[in-house]
């Protein structure tokens, strides 16, 4: 993946999001996680980025050759980092906007009903402008809006970012329900590795535009490097001290 035809950002990534499962993509700032989601969702062109080698495929279709709206029609939708709701529209108007690819009004209504069932607070605030919602409520709305296109795959970019611990737990439960109740394939990008590996079935770790580690979520939770660098635990299972954290970058054994 290259920006401006010069800057190489992603380098030979091989990643599979298994059907009807949750796949976590972990890594620090600048690792390439968000760029990976943008490449899948077809939104690189406005940023002058392009996939130069390899392919991104879903159900036998080459997504990297399609514009973003066609990727949505294929059944893949993204919830962007930072929520990005339509602040001047009401909650319900945001949801209706998310269903723009639906031609059957009943499916739009069913989608709104499911969003209200999943997020009762949204129903209470359905006539309120989205810009006046809390951060957690906006995240719920962003997920609900994405589901209005009835996707098969949902890409979640940092859904827990900036949320209080109680809301992080609620978002984690919703992500689990996306798989269990809606049968969705979920690709979850998170810096909150503890939350991500708690709900995920499989996981990948990215560093500097490359996949450096992958495995079942349970195996990654037990991995000494993941525990140290992403869960903040030392070999005894205790939280690391600040002095340990300062040695973070130069001690990454998988990059040596």
What's the pLDDT tens digit per position in 113-168? Answer: 988 988 889 999 999 999 999 888 899 899 999 988 889 999 999 998 888 888 88
**What is the distance between the alpha carbons of residues 47 and 44, in angstroms, rounded to a whole number?**
5
User: Any idea which fold 2-255 has?
Assistant: Rossmann fold (3.40.50)
Residue 5 pLDDT: 59
**What is the distance between the alpha carbons of residues 176 and 45, in angstroms, rounded to a whole number?**
32
Tokens encoding 154: 């949902």
Low-confidence residues of the chain, pLDDT below 50?
1, 237-238, 241-243, 245-248, 250, 256
Residue 78 pLDDT: 93
Residue 31 pLDDT: 85
Q: What percent of the chain is modeled with pLDDT above 70?
A: 84
Strands 210-216 and 76-79: unpaired
Residue 242 pLDDT: 43
Residue 235 pLDDT: 52
Residue 70 pLDDT: 92
**What is the distance between the alpha carbons of residues 133 and 130, in angstroms, rounded to a whole number?**
5
Residue 7 pLDDT: 61
């Amino acid at each position: 993946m290259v920006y401006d035809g010069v800057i190489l950002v992603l380098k030979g990534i091989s990643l599979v999001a298994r059907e009807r499962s949750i796949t976590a993509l972990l890594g620090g700032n600048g690792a390439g996680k968000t760029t990976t989601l943008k490449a899948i969702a077809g939104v690189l062109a406005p940023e002058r980025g392009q996939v130069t080698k390899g392919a991104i495929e879903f159900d036998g279709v080459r997504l990297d050759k399609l514009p973003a709206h066609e990727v949505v029609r294929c059944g893949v939708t993204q919830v962007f980092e930072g929520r990005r709701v339509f602040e001047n529209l009401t909650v319900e108007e945001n949801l209706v906007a998310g269903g723009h690819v639906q031609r059957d009004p009943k499916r739009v209504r069913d989608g709104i009903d499911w969003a209200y069932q999943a997020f009762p607070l949204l129903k209470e605030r359905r006539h309120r402008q989205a810009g006046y919602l809390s951060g957690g409520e906006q995240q719920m709305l962003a997920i609900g809006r994405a589901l209005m296109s009835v996707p098969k795959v949902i890409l979640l970019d940092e859904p827990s970012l900036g949320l209080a611990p109680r809301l992080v737990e609620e978002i984690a439960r919703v992500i689990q329900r996306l798989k269990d109740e809606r049968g969705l394939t979920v690709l979850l990008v998170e810096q909150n590795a503890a939350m991500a590996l708690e709900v995920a079935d499989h996981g990948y770790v990215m560093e500097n535009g490359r996949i450096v580690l992958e495995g079942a979520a349970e195996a990654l939770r037990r991995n000494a490097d993941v525990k140290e660098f992403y869960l903040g635990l030392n070999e005894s299972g205790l939280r690391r001290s600040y002095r340990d954290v300062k040695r973070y970058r130069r001690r990454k054994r998988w990059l040596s």
